[in-house]
Chains A and B, each alone.
Chain A
C-alpha cells in the first residue's frame, strides 16, 4: 500500500517537473509546478511530516506560485520563447550527470540499511507540529531569528527593486 502511494507520487512529481521545463507557455509551466507542489506535500504526509505538508501547500502553492502567476500576467509575454542558444553544451552537461546517476545507481550496496541513530528527538513521540516547534524554538532559535531577518531584507529589497522612480518621488516630496 505504501509502495503504491510512493510510486504514484514519485511518478507525478517526475512527470510534472519535466513538464515545467518543457512547456512553452509560462502559465502552463507554473500550473504544472502547482501540481508538483501538491504531490510533494502528499509525499511529506507519507513520510510523517504533516506540518511540512501543510506549510508546503500554504507557502509554495499559496504564496510563491501566485507571485509567479502575477508576474507572468504583469509582463504580458509574447510567444518568442525558445530554447537557449547554448543548448548543445547544456545537453552535454545533462548527459554527463545522467550517466553519473546511472553509474551510482548501479553500484553495489547502495540499498544497504544504515543504522538509525535516533539520538536527539524521535519523530513519532508526540504530534509532528509539537516536536518541530519544540526543536525550532530551543535548538534552532538563532537560525530562526536569522530567517526572519532574511525575510525582512527580501521584503525591503523587493520593494526598492520593483518601485519605479524611487529617487524622483523623494526629490518631489
Chain B
C-alpha cells in the first residue's frame, strides 16, 4: 500500500467541505440534498480508507449502514420536496418562511 492514509483524508475533507459550502450557498433545495449526498460520500471514503489501513472490515460494514441511511434520507427528503412543491409551487428555500421566527 503505497498511498498514505492522509491523502484519502485530504480528499474526503475536500469533498465534505464542498458539500458544506453547497448546503450553505445554494437556494435550490434539490442541490442542497445533493450536497448532503456529497458529505455522506466523503465519510464513506474515510471509512473505507481506515478499513483498509487497519485491516479491519468493520469500516466497510459501517459504509453499508451509511448507505442505508442515505437511501432513507433521499426517499423522505424527496417526498418532502414534492409535498412542498405542491403547497408553494417553488423549491427555492428562501420562500419557505413558515417556521421563521
Residues on A facing B (Cβ under 8 Å): 2-3, 6, 10, 13-14, 17-18, 20-21, 26, 29-30, 33, 36-37, 40, 43-44, 47-49, 51-52, 55-56, 59-60, 63-64, 67-68, 71-72, 74-75, 77, 80-87, 89-91, 93-94, 97-98, 101, 105, 110-111, 113-114, 116-124, 128, 131-132, 135-136, 139-140, 143, 147, 150-151, 153-155, 157-159, 161-162, 164
Closest chain A residue, CB of each to CB of B93: A84
Residues on B facing A (Cβ under 8 Å): 1-7, 10-11, 13-15, 17-22, 24-28, 30-31, 33-35, 37-38, 41, 44-45, 48-49, 51-58, 60-61, 63-65, 67-76, 78-83, 85-86, 91-94
Closest chain A residue, CB of each to CB of B25: A90
B91 to A155, Cβ gap below 8 A?
A: no
By a CB distance below 8 angstroms, the chain B residues around A84 are 24-27, 93-94
A33 to B83, Cβ gap below 8 A?
A: no
